[in-house]
Amino acid sequence: MTTTAGPLTATELIAIREDFPLLERTVRGGRPLVYLDSAATSQKPECVTDAEQDFYLRRNAAVHRGAHQLAEEATEAYEKARAAVAGLVGVDAGEIVWTKNATEAINHVAYAMSNATLGRGGEDAAALRLGPGDEIVVTEAEHHANLVPWQELCARTGATLRWLGVTDEGRIDTGTLGVINERTRLVAFAHASNVTGAIAPVAAIVAAAHAVGALVVLDACQSVPHLPVDLRALDVDFAAFSGHKMLGPTGIGVLYGRADLLAAMPPFLTGGSMVEVVTMESTSYAPPPQRFEAGTQMVAQTVGLNAAADYLAELGMSAVAAHEAVLTEHLVRGVAGIDGVRVLGPTDATDRLGVVAFDVAGVHPHDVGQVLDDAGIAIRVGHHCAQPVHRRLGVHASARASVGIYTTHAEIDVFLEHLAGVRSFFGLGGSRG
């Protein structure tokens, strides 16, 4: 495959799809699969599963222990993966902590602050302590993974949770940036919403946070698989993303932390592998990132994620973004153009990803998903782990179509054609049938 700056050519897209055997299968009695649920989880190219298999069949050993050759090779693979992922998002390998998913990555930060508040980590971690009067700021558009850990942290420390609002269009309301004030200690927000698809005004939020000395946590789950992301340039202090949404395996997530912050953080999970000296009375901890990688690690998954990161890097994230921008335009305009269907999020393709949630008037999302599934079209239905933003936009739940690097224009056509027939199937806006 060649790296291009513009959208993919038809030939390139065919070549990409050939890397994903699952896309060739049929569902529901022989219908070709139209997979529009990449925001939930991406499909995997064969190179990812090959890499995992090769690791298990030829190099499997415990990492960071043992003096034998296999242990050396496994450790090398594990650390090479760290460097590959770090390279993809523009940071140093030592700033990447492996976690089992993005949720755990966010909890690492929340529990480090919680433990610092209890005195763990000593004076080095004093800047992470929280108490009554301190504030944590999130947004109304967060996935529960970037909301509930902060609610819990506030409950444990006496800090107060506040949030930036969301506009009727589903974007973060920059008019509410005044919520960030001198009491704010941390600001956590999603780079791109998993419901509205809106890309956050990162620079404005980071500037407001840093102006008052608050730390910034970026939930980059939706952005890293679809956009060029340079965490250093974005100037965030922490970031979390998941392997399985970026063509990699499940069971592997990533926490990025600025080197000096990781060095100051007390651990969340403790036990084997993350220590220096252990006596019956106390323990000293390994430097980051090992300090945050307790217990046997998901080595094969890191190797799979390495292959995924290499695959994306070879395509070029600019090319990925350019391809998906064209699809996004087609998808969002198409959905917005159907009678009785409302897009929950921006209706143009500017500063948004190809994650399009929508409400079909008079038809529950579950029922929308069911009739589309019958046509072989896989979309997400429900609240997408983001109940508050649904409430904000005046709905209980929604249906959501989302694109990936392997999505075609023709697949979106099939989806739009069937979506247009959903209301009439349920006896609305026309005759059934």
Residues near another protein (CB under 8 A) are: 28-29, 363-367, 370-371, 374-375, 381-383, 387, 390, 396-397, 421, 425-427, 433
In order of 117, 164, 370, 399, 401, the CA distances from 396 in angstroms are 37, 21, 18, 11, 17
CB of 422 to another protein, least distance (A): 9
Q: Report how far residue 243's alpha carbon sits from residue 389's, in angstroms, rounded to the nearest whole number.
A: 25
CB of 370 to another protein, least distance (A): 7
CB of 28 to another protein, least distance (A): 7
Angle of helix 102-117 versus helix 148-157 axis, rounded to 10: 10
Quick check: is 154 catalytic? no
Query: Can you tell me whether residue 172 is helix, strand or coil?
Result: strand
- For residues 24-44, b (16+ Cβ closer than 10 Å) or e, as one string? eeebeeeeebbbbbbbbbbbb
Closest of 251, 256, 194, 211 to residue 229, by C-alpha: 256
CB of 396 to another protein, least distance (A): 5
Q: Report how far residue 166's alpha carbon sits from residue 390's, in angstroms, rounded to the nearest whole number.
A: 11
Q: Which is nearer to another protein, 263 or 395 (CB)?
A: 395
CB–CB of 136/209 below 8 Å? no
CB of 397 to another protein, least distance (A): 5
Q: Which is nearer to another protein, 247 or 357 (CB)?
A: 357
**Considering 47, 154, 221, 385, which one is annotated as catalytic?**
385
Q: Which is nearer to another protein, 58 or 432 (CB)?
A: 432
Q: Which is nearer to another protein, 315 or 416 (CB)?
A: 416
Q: Which is nearer to another protein, 326 or 397 (CB)?
A: 397
First to last CA, the chain: 44
CB–CB of 159/131 below 8 Å? yes
CB–CB of 217/236 below 8 Å? yes
Alpha carbons within 13 angstroms on the beta-carbon side of residue 106 total: 30
Helices (H), 158-284: 202-211, 231-234, 259-264
Closest of 289, 119, 110, 120 to residue 217, by C-alpha: 110
CB–CB of 38/415 below 8 Å? no
CB–CB of 384/365 below 8 Å? no
Q: Which is nearer to another protein, 93 or 371 (CB)?
A: 371
CB of 174 to another protein, least distance (A): 29
Q: Which is nearer to another protein, 185 or 423 (CB)?
A: 423
CB of 418 to another protein, least distance (A): 9
Q: Enumerate the active-site residues.
A: 385
